Amino acid sequence: MLRSMKELHGCTIGATDGDIGTVTDGYFDDLSFTVRYLVVDTGGWLAARKVLLSPIALHAMDWQHQRITAALTKAQVEQSPKIDTDKPVSRQHETAYYGYYGYSPYWAGDYLWGVYPYPYLGAGPAPSAADLAREQRWNWAKERADPHLRSAQAVTGYHLQATDGDIGHVEDFLVDDQSWTIRYMLVDTTNWWAGKKVLVAPAWIKQVDWAQSKVHVTVTRAQIQTSPEYDPAREVDRAYETQLHDHYGVPRYWRE
C-alpha cells in the first residue's frame, strides 16, 4: 500500500520498552529513491537528540493511530552511533550504523535491500526464489559506490520541469509501505494549471539539479495536463496505477 511521507511525519515510534520519539523526516537514496532512514526526534528523552531508524527495525504500523512499533529497546537507540542529521550521512556513518545493529547492508546484495527486496529482520517467511526472480536487481557497486541520501523535507518544494516547460512543484511523496520505495512524487500544478494534483514516478526523472532544486522529467506538459488526476482522499489502487502508466506509455514497475 502507498503511504504519504507527510502522513509519516508526527508518527510516534515505540520501542519494546517505551516510546522513542516522533518522525520528523525521511532520508532516501538518490539512486533507487528508497527511504533508508526515518529521522526521529527523541524530544527531552535524549536531550533533544535526533536519531535515525532503518525501516528494517520497524515491526508493526498502526496508521490509524499514527504509531509505529520498532523491534528495538530504548537502550539500543540511546547507544547507537551518533549521526548529525543536519549534515550529509556518509557511507562511513551508514556502515557504522548497520554494524552496530547487525543488519545486512542494503548496498551489499543484488536487491533493493541487499539480499532481500524489502526490509527484512527475520520475522515471518523470507521471500522465495520465485519471489526474488520477479524483483529488480541492483548492482550498487556498478551504479555508484556512494549514493547520496536526500531529505524528503528538503526536496519537497523542488520545481518540476517537463521536456517543454515548467509543471509545478513537489508537494509530497507516496511510499510503498513494504519496500519503502518512493513510487510517486505528488506534484502541485497550481502555478501552471490551477487546482490539479498529479503523480509523477521517479522512474520518469531524466535529471535532478540538486543545486537549483529542480527535477527534470521525461514527460511533456500536455501529458501532465491530460493525465489521470490524483485525489488525495482516495487510495491509489492498482487500477489507477495501470491507468496512469498506460497514459504515459511507460512500463509498469510491478510484474503481474
pLDDT tens-digit profile of 117-147? 889 877 667 777 777 777 777 766 555 555 6
Distance CA 1, CA 61 (A): 12
Coarse DSSP helix, strand, coil percentages of the chain, rounded to the nearest 5 percent: 20, 35, 45
pLDDT band at 173 (very low <50, low <70, confident <90, very high): very high
Model confidence over 2-18: pLDDT tens digits? 999 999 999 999 999 99
Mean local confidence (pLDDT), 19-29:
94
Q: What value does the mean pLDDT take over residues 53-81?
A: 92
Neighbours of 67 (CB within 10 A): 14
If we measure between CA atoms, which residue out of 52, 228, 254 comes closest to residue 135?
254
Percent above pLDDT 90 for the chain: 62
Which ranges in the chain are annotated with CATH 2.30.30.240?
2-143
Q: 2-143 in CATH: which number?
A: 2.30.30.240
Grid coordinates representing 183? 513510487
Q: Which residues, including other chains, have CB under 8 Å from residue 34's CB and lie 6 or more apart?
A: 28, 106, 112, 113, 179, 180, 181, 182
Q: What's the CATH fold of domain 156-248?
A: Photosynthetic Reaction Center; Chain H, domain 2 (3.90.50)
* pLDDT (0 to 100) of residue 8: 92
Enumerate the H helices of the chain as residue ranges. 5-8, 74-78, 91-101, 129-133, 140-143, 152-155, 221-225, 238-248
Rg (CA), the chain: 19
**Calpha distance 204→210 (Å, rounded):** 17
Give the per-residue pLDDT at 170: 96
- CATH 3.90.50.10 residue spans of the chain: 156-248
Q: Which residue has the higher pLDDT, 128 or 236?
A: 236
* Mean pLDDT, residues 223-242: 91
- Over range 101-128, report the average pLDDT: 85
Q: d(Cα 129, Cα 147) in Å, to the nearest integer? A: 28
Contact (CB, 8 A) for 182 and 175? yes
pLDDT band with cut points at 50, 70 and 90 for residue 240: very high
List all residues 6 or more positions away from 17 whose beta carbon is below 8 Å from its beta carbon. Answer: 73, 74
How do beta strands 18-29 and 12-15 pair?
Answer: antiparallel
Q: What is the model's pTM?
A: 0.92
Would you state the cell numbers that stand for residue 144, as one nine-digit string? 555508484
Q: What's the mean pLDDT in 213-238?
A: 92
pLDDT at residue 214 in the model: 96
